[in-house]
Amino acid sequence: VELPRLGALAAFFVLSFYPIVTPNVDVGLFFLYACAAAFASSGAGYLASVALNPLKAQLYTVIYVLVALMFSGLALPLASLAGNSLFWAVSYASPARWFAELIYLQHVWSLSIAWRMPPAYYSHASRYSALATLLGLNYTPLTFVLWMDVGMLVGRGVVFRALAFWSLVGFNRDKRH
């Protein structure tokens, strides 16, 4: 029941986002990445809906989305978050971090070699070097990282669902029916 709904959610996201932005990512891969991100995000929603009453769950979800975006590595570089254990943990729990890394890494690989020269090659590396931006975001430019990021998204979804299940069993006996 849930997987077709998540697939539809990801499809609507891809159909609305992909034509506007036109990333250098194959639409099939982009859909796969969006499905993994939807799985991770919905797991956090399940945890909130089971652990909290409906009004608090909505508020928690909004706060979680804002915090996850803030610490995803886009607003603040991941290297700056490494000094604080709490911020680093929040960035690891953020589905936005892994989704953004997937899209950006895939985009950089599709660029010509001129964009991927060492940053010292350019007069303004921050403007012309995709590799400088990639390193500035603290992303790892390796092929296996793409599948590791998908695994992190799916893993987040599984962990959030397990926490929701344990919360349901342990604390919310009235919601188990």
Per-residue confidence (pLDDT) for residue 158, from 0 to 100: 94
Per-residue confidence (pLDDT) for residue 83, from 0 to 100: 82
Q: Are 135 and 104 in contact (CB under 8 A)?
A: no
Per-residue confidence (pLDDT) for residue 160, from 0 to 100: 92
Q: Report the amino acid identity of residue 67.
A: V
Task: List per-residue pLDDT tens for the chain, 177 residues long.
Answer: 688 899 999 999 999 988 888 888 889 999 999 999 999 989 888 888 888 888 888 898 889 888 888 888 878 778 788 788 888 888 888 898 889 888 888 887 777 776 666 666 666 666 667 777 777 777 776 778 888 899 999 999 999 999 999 988 887 666 555
Per-residue confidence (pLDDT) for residue 31, from 0 to 100: 94
Per-residue confidence (pLDDT) for residue 127, from 0 to 100: 61
